[in-house]
Amino acid sequence: MDHKFLQDGISAMSAGATTLNGWSLGILGATVAGIVAGHFLRPGAKARWLYLLFIPGWVLLGLSIWYGDKVTRRLAASGFTEDHERLRQIAELMNSEYAAQRALFEFALLVFGCWLVCLLLWWVFADETFKQST
């Protein structure tokens, strides 16, 4: 592989990692805002247990952000080497960390998707009425 090809691949992985970090932070902020917002419809006590699914979702998002940060830091490291073998090693590490970031992000989406489906099923089939929070 030539040096330019590796640099282009490293830059592409870093851009993808940065995008996933942005999406992760957006989801993290939206879920926190949804819980602490002042006026929202609050489900009954049993349905509130569903919100515990946010915890593994947040942990997965946090780990995804952590791996994304590692990927972007390796981009900076790659700029300081002209050694082709070292650059290849950096690219291999970035590739595995980017794959981990993507997998963790997808698992987080799965967790939040399960929460959404459970909340929808509760909303459709529960006999409870919403309480307006103040």
Whole-number Å distance between alpha carbons of 4 and 80: 14
36 inside domain: no
- DSSP assignments along 78-108, one per residue: HTT---HHHHHHHHHHHHHHHHHHHHHHHHH
Mean of the per-residue pLDDT values for the chain? 88
83 inside domain: yes
81 inside domain: yes
pLDDT tens profile 52-108: 999 999 999 999 999 999 999 999 988 888 888 999 999 999 999 999 999 999 999
Global pTM reads 0.85
84 inside domain: yes
Domain of residue 127: give its range: 3-31+43-132
Positive or negative, the CA dihedral 63, 106, 29, 53 is: negative
> Are the C-beta atoms of residues 25 and 65 closer than 8 Å to each other?
yes
37 inside domain: no
The tally of domains found in the chain comes to 1
